[in-house]
């Protein structure tokens, strides 16, 4: 059986750690690419990671490169390229620079891997995945953004910490844009099957939700010199697995919504079924009045971001 080919564009902390998670899970053979200015850095990381295979017991072939020729005919392309946040920066502050980087990357991906499923990780996420689809011209279902998996993981972590329970028993769902305008759904959040609203008082739950929304900024402020990468990479690897193994995972992702939820042609976080074809189905939920209002506010923020991006690329 042919192994899946997974190309990761951007060999920084998020990209290299995504390669690590994907290799350890034997999701396929991996190409780790960075810009020519980095010279042999991706080659060194790829070789180092491959040499951990005999110890950890995985057989993935890992190649580090600065040439898109090595990525040809990838099944999945993960894009992490872009400048990371620094203390005091919002995701939106990255818009102009990362939009130009995304444009350059996607022009290469379009010609080298025309049949790939593209997973975008770069920030500001919702605008970057929109740009990726615009430039590649791929069917929207084959271009998807990683955000909801990460936000939900942070939410589940904080809920488990609060209740002193295993994260495995916490099930949660978030929608909307990545970051401050995300929309938690308490009606879709439970712990061991018990609704979270029966376990945590409303005011405390709101504090946990606020911390989740600012989860990336909290880590940026602690690291000082970079942004989160372990959890974002793990979230990305889960999405890669859903595609290469056709898992049909029902998870929140930044997906192209037109008539769905009345979004009107933008990428925004919604629950989807993710499989070998990319986004195979968007799951539409019945939202309460408060949830609808919060979701619309989030969608409006995404639209403003995309509008601003149009004047920068």
Quickly list DSSP for 146-168.
--HHHHHHHHHHHHHHHHT--GG
Which tokens sit at 270?
């919604």
What is the number of alpha carbons within 13 Å of residue 211 lying toward its C-beta?
Answer: 15
Q: Using alpha carbons, list the distances in angstroms from residue 289 to 126, 185, 201, 264.
A: 24, 12, 21, 19
Catalytic site residues?
A: 178
Cis status, amide bond into 124, omega within 30 of 0: yes
Tokens coding 11: 């060999």
Site of tokens 């009606």: 187
| CA 258 to chain CA mean position, Å | 20
Query: What's the CA gap between 103 and 110, in Å, rounded?
Result: 11
Burial readout 21-32 (b: 16 or more C-beta within 10 A, e: otherwise): bbbbbebbbbbb
Which alpha helices (H) appear in the chain, and where do they start and end?
13-24, 41-50, 53-56, 95-112, 125-136, 148-163, 202-213, 215-223, 230-244, 289-310
Beta bridge partners, 63, equal 31
């Amino acid at each position: 059986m042919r192994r899946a080919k997974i190309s990761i564009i951007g060999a920084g902390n998020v990209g290299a750690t995504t390669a690590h998670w994907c290799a350890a899970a034997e999701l396929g053979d991996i190409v780790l690419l960075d810009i020519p200015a980095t010279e042999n850095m991706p080659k060194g990381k790829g070789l180092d990671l491959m040499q951990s295979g005999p110890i950890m017991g995985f057989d993935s072939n890992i190649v580090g490169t600065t040439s898109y020729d090595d990525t040809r005919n990838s099944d999945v392309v993960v894009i992490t390229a872009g400048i990371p946040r620094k203390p005091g920066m919002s995701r939106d502050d990255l818009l102009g620079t990362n939009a130009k980087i995304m444009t350059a990357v996607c022009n290469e991906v379009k010609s080298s891997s025309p049949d790939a499923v593209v997973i975008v990780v770069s920030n500001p996420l919702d605008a970057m995945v929109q740009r990726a689809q615009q430039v590649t011209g791929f069917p929207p279902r084959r271009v998807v953004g990683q955000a909801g998996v990460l936000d939900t993981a942070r939410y589940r972590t904080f809920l488990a910490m609060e209740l002193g329970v295993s994260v495995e028993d916490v099930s949660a769902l978030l929608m909307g844009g990545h970051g401050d305008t995300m929309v938690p759904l308490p009606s879709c959040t439970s712990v061991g099957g018990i609704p979270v609203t029966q376990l945590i008082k409303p005011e405390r739950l709101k504090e946990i939700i606020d911390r989740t929304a600012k989860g990336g900024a909290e880590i940026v402020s602690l690291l000082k010199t970079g942004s989160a990468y372990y959890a974002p990479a793990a979230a990305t690897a889960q999405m890669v697995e859903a595609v290469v193994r056709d898992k049909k995972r029902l998870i929140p992702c930044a997906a192209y919504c037109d008539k769905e939820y009345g979004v009107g042609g933008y990428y925004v976080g919604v629950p989807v079924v993710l499989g070998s074809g990319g986004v195979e189905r968007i799951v539409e939920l019945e939202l309460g009045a408060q949830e609808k209002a919060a979701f619309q506010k989030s969608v409006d923020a995404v639209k403003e971001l995309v509008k601003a991006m149009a004047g920068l690329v």
